[in-house]
């Protein structure tokens, strides 16, 4: 579909609320100012693993101005979780990582909160700590959750402990396949924990209402799951809880509370407000976030692949050990996705993978941008280069030899409707200048492909309400995350209704009014809310045209809306204004309310039938390695993506650049460092190194077209996939520059120089 077919779609309209964000207006959660709100704060465990023998809050409660001190004893005996229901609102009986919330305080000032938190006396009985995900599986390791069973799907005969998720991939016969290989490459890769480090801190605010309900404000990505969690953990009926989304200053999955069952911040705040009978607001400190909220897990990946001499892949075997942290969180989902993606997205007839997600005494796994994908791809795409090198093949030619085509199946996708992988590879090769650019000493070029399989997930609805001036008010369940809500949604409504985007207001999510939604996660905003809003806007348009038809003495099918005018197709002089029809509607049906929904089950069934079109990508990087210090400078970076139909080119470019930059951070410098006691050694931005602009190259984002996806007008999710290839891409470029393969992240100067010295270079 060429964009010329559309009036609004495909243009670069300015972001709604963009200027306000740039000039520092109070648009974020942290700017919320509730009258008479108390300050809230959380006491966090100083032990990574310990029994709680007793908690004495009497001294803290006695401080004048302290309005509430709560522990697990003040909440219903209910746990939360996603795959495993393994966590209390505040730690009860045991703490399982340093940062685990133990008690909370609400007081008249932040200073009083700090003082009261110090006065809470917790008696701990320290237990042995396990931070290593392999060690935790051994019989000798301490047990983290006494009452959590091993996963039901664990293969027979596997002797493990502290495992809270298992994913197996079994395609063909990997052992037999491996026996037929001419070349077998067997490697081990390792990635480290990173924190998503959105710049706006997490907040929660709660206000008990006079009618017995409670209103909660959160800069969370998933207001409805937050509502569920608040209701269940405070013992309120669901309809007594109202969650309102505030503006969000970045989240990257880290603010996916409710979805991830992570830090429990909103329920804790609600419990404080209910106890104090006053509004309470908690603003998290950045260092507190780094040690306590959800993270992208580190993992260890064993990968072994067999290939024929001509480069044809024949079999893969592997294992993933994925660190969930102190609670299951999103570990099983992320670890499972990671395991599948180590299986790859190439033609590969025989695959066997075992993926274990394990408890350790560390921060809890969340759904950080492409959960599991960047880690899997670091291993899988580095490994592809290792195989190419073993075969003596060009890395691009080797990949092209194995790309899937129309009708093929890949892990997680039974049938492909088309495949853009080859086109992205060829374009990345051309754009980076592979084989053409003259490389100097210690310079190299690397490639890595990526996929982000659009699989199953919940549906969602949308409502388009017409106002009497012809403008539209839109309800969706996805929050304004800087993507669909300010760009795609108003553009679709404007396109369908023939009105300017300025006439479309997308409402903030309020669980009392908005359609239910599973959360602004998984690159699914356009797929779910975009499809729903398209149908809702079409429903509204059809109602309007039916009302206008009588006035214009034409049938509704012969009418169209152009520039706020309803006109007869081919005879634009026969027209009436959209406003007058909407206004007249007051006398008939009140107002025009269009409704639409994305039926996820039906969509999946359709895709199984016709095959699905998946987003694929290839990134290419040119680097220079300082072989004296191990420093890697990225000189050039190209990210070629198939994201289906592009609704807003600049927004897509921004998504790709942001996602690539985020993973370049993990590639080059980012990691959360722990000591053997489970203490985070680099909680602040002084020591937690995010990449600064002087480290990052210009990222050239390129999109290919012609592979429409399941989203409205053929879009595909664009938010996460850009974070999938960069780590492998840089590792491959380092290999090309130096001949040395670095299998452990980050590709920091020290790790690179160590690898170079070990290789005798």
Partner 1 sequence: MDYFEPKTVDEALSLLDQHGEQAEVIAGGTDVMVDIKYSDEPGCLVNIKRIPDLNAIRESNGGVHIGPLATIHELEESELVRKRLPLLWSAAHQFASLQIRNTATIGGNICRASPSGETLAPLLVLEAEAEVTFSDGARTEPFSAFFKGPGETSLGSKGLLTGINVPYPADGSHAVYLKHAVRGPMDIAMVGVAVMATANADKSALDDVRIGLGAVAPTPVRAPKTEALVSGKALDAALVKEAGASAASESSPITDQRSSGEYRGWIVDALTRRGLEQCWQALTGKEVA
Nearer to partner 1, 583 or 631 (CB): 631
Cβ distance to partner 1 smaller for residue 467 or 627: 627
DSSP 65-129: TEEEEEEGGGS-S-EEESSSEEEESS--SEE-STT-EEEEEEESSHHHHHHHHHH-EEEEEE---
Q: How far is the CB of 747 from partner 1 (least distance, A)?
A: 11
Binding residue (CB under 8 A) for partner 1 from 123, 629, 677, 698 = 629
DSSP letters, 146-160, are: TTPPPPTTPPTT---
The distance of closest approach from Cβ of residue 689 to partner 1 in the complex, given in angstroms and rounded to an integer, is 5
C-beta of residue 221 within 8 angstroms of C-beta of residue 265: no
Comparing CB distances to partner 1, the nearer of 308 and 754 is 754
The site string for partner 1 over 276-315 (x = CB under 8 A, - otherwise) reads: -----------x----------------------------
Tracing tokens 């370049």 back to the chain, one arrives at 664
Tell me which H or E stretch contains 56: strand 50-56
What separation in angstroms does the CA of 481 have from each of 255, 332, 485, 615? 11, 25, 7, 21
**Residue count, binding to partner 1 (CB under 8 A):** 23
User: Does residue 748 interact with partner 1 by CB under 8 A?
Assistant: yes
Residue selected from 125, 681, 698, 758 as contacting partner 1 according to rule CB under 8 A: 681
- What strands, in cross-sheet order, belong to the sheet with 504-506? 504-506, 472-476, 460-466, 593-598
Compute the distance between CA of residue 700 and CA of residue 363 in angstroms, rounded to an integer.
34
Query: Which of 61-69, 399-407, 538-546, 744-752 is the region at the interface with partner 1 (rule: CB under 8 A)?
Result: 744-752
Q: Is the bond leading into 746 cis (omega within 30 degrees of zero)?
A: yes
Structure tokens at 627: 């072989």
Please say which residue, 41 or 691, places its beta carbon nearer to partner 1. 691
Nearer to partner 1, 409 or 627 (CB): 627
Residue 222, beta-bridge partner list: none
- Binding segment (CB under 8 A) for partner 1, from list 437-445, 585-593, 717-725, 746-754: 746-754
Query: Is residue 759 at the binding interface for partner 1, with CB under 8 A as the rule?
Result: no
389 near partner 1 (CB under 8 A):
no
Query: Which run of H or of E encompasses 652?
Result: helix 649-668
Residue 686 contacts partner 1 per CB under 8 A:
yes
Distance between CA 726 and CA 450 in Å, rounded? Answer: 9
397 binds partner 1, rule: CB under 8 A = no
- What string marks each residue from 550 to 589 as x (binds partner 1 by CB under 8 A) or -? ----------------------------------------
Beta-strand relationship, 280-283 and 299-307? unpaired
Phi, psi of 19 (to 5 degrees): -60, -45
User: Min. distance of Cβ 329 from partner 1 in angstroms?
Assistant: 24
Does position 441 interact with partner 1 (CB under 8 A)? The reply is no
From candidates 319, 689, 702, 744, binder to partner 1 by CB under 8 A: 689
Q: How far is the CB of 658 from partner 1 (least distance, A)?
A: 19
Which of the ranges 207-215, 527-535, 634-642, 680-688 carries the binding residues for partner 1, by CB under 8 A? 680-688
When the beta carbons of 125 and 687 are compared against partner 1, the nearer one is: 687
Q: Which of 175, 180, 502, 628 binds partner 1 (CB under 8 A)?
A: 628
Should residue 753 be labelled a site residue for partner 1 when binding is judged by CB under 8 A?
Answer: yes
Alpha-carbon distance 328 to 264, whole Å?
14
Q: Pairing between strand 313-325 and 443-451?
A: unpaired
From the list 49-57, 122-130, 371-379, 666-674, the region that binds partner 1 by CB under 8 A is 666-674
> CB-based contacts of 513: which residues, under 8 Å, 6+ apart?
475, 507
125 binds partner 1 (CB under 8 A): no
Q: Dig out the tokens for 245 from the structure.
A: 């989304």
Q: Which residues would be at the binding site for partner 1 (CB under 8 A)?
A: 287, 628-629, 631, 668-669, 673, 681-682, 684, 686-687, 689, 691-692, 694-695, 748-750, 753-754, 757
């Amino acid at each position: 579909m060429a964009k010329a077919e559309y009036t609004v779609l495909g243009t670069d309209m300015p972001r709604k609320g963009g200027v306000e964000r740039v000039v520092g207006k109070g648009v974020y959660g942290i700017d919320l100012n509730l009258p008479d709100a108390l300050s809230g704060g959380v006491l966090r465990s100083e032990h990574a693993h310990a029994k709680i023998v007793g908690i004495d809050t009497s001294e803290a409660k006695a401080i004048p101005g302290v309005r509430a001190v709560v522990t697990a004893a003040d909440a219903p005996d209910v746990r939360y979780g996603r795959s495993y229901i393994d966590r209390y609102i505040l730690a009860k009986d045991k703490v399982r990582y340093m940062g685990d919330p133990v008690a909370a305080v609400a007081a008249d000032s932040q200073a009083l909160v700090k003082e009261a938190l110090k006065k809470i006396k917790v008696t701990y009985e320290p237990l042995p700590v396990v931070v290593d995900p392999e060690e935790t599986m051994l019989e000798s390791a301490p047990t983290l959750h006494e009452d959590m069973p091993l996963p039901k799907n664990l293969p027979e005969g596997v002797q493990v402990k502290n495992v809270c998720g298992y994913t197996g991939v079994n395609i063909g016969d990997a052992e037999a396949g491996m026996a037929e290989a001419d070349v077998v490459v067997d490697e081990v890769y390792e990635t480290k924990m990173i924190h998503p480090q959105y710049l706006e801190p997490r907040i929660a605010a709660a206000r008990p209402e006079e009618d017995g309900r409670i209103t909660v404000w959160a800069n969370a990505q998933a207001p409805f799951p937050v509502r569920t969690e608040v209701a269940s953990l405070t013992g309120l009926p669901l309809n007594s809880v109202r969650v309102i989304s505030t503006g969000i200053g970045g989240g990257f999955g880290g603010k996916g509370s409710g979805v991830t069952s992570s830090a429990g911040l909103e329920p804790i705040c609600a419990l404080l407000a209910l106890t104090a009978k006053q509004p309470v607001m908690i603003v998290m400190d950045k260092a507190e976030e780094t040690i306590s909220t959800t993270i992208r897990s580190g993992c260890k990946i064993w990968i072994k692949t067999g290939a024929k001499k001509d480069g044809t892949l024949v079999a893969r075997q592997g294992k993933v050990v994925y660190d969930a942290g102190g609670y299951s969180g999103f570990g099983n989902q992320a670890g499972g996705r990671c395991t599948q993606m180590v299986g790859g997205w190439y033609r590969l007839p025989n695959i066997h993978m075992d993926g274990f997600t394990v408890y350790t005494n560390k921060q809890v796994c969340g759904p950080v941008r492409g959960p599991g994908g960047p880690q899997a791809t670091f291993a899988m795409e580095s490994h592809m280069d290792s195989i190419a090198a073993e075969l003596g093949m060009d890395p691009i030619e080797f990949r092209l030899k194995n790309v899937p085509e129309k009708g093929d199946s890949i892990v997680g996708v039974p049938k492909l409707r088309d495949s853009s992988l080859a086109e992205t590879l060829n374009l990345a090769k051309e754009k980076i200048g592979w084989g053409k650019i003259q490389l100097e000493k210690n310079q190299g070029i690397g490639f890595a492909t990526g996929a982000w399989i659009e699989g199953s997930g919940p549906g969602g609805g949308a409502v388009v309400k017409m106002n009497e001036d012809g403008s539209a008010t839109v309800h969706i369940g996805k929050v304004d995350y800087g993507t669909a809500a300010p760009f795609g949604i108003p553009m679709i409504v404007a396109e369908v209704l023939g009105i300017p985007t300025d006439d479309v207001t997308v409402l903030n999510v309020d669980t009392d009014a908005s359609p239910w939604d599973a959360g602004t996660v998984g690159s699914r905003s356009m797929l779910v809310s975009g499809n729903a809003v398209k149908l809702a806007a079409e429903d509204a348009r059809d109602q309007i045209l039916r009302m206008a038809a009588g006035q214009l003495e034409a049938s509704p099918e012969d009418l169209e809306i152009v520039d706020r005018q309803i006109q007869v197709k081919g005879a634009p002089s026969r027209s009436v204004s959209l406003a007058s029809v909407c206004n007249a509607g007051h006398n008939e049906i009140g107002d025009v309310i269009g409704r639409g929904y994305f039926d996820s089950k039906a969509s999946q069934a359709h895709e199984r039938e016709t095959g699905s079109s998946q987003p694929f990508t290839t990134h290419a990087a040119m680097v220079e390695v300082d072989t004296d210090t191990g420093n890697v400078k990225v000189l050039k970076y190209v990210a070629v993506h198939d994201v289906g139909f592009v609704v807003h080119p600049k927004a897509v470019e921004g998504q790709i650049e942001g996602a690539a930059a985020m993973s370049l951070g993990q590639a080059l410098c980012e990691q959360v460092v722990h000591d053997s006691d489970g203490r985070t050694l680099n909680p602040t931005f002084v020591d937690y190194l995010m990449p600064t602009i002087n480290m990052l190259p210009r990222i050239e984002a390129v999109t290919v077209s012609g592979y429409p996806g399941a989203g409205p007008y053929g879009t595909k999710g664009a938010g996460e996939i850009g974070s999938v290839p960069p780590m492998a891409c840089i590792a491959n470029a380092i290999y090309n520059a130096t001949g040395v393969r670095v299998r452990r992240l980050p590709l920091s100067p020290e790790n690179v120089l160590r690898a170079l010295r070990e290789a005798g270079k």
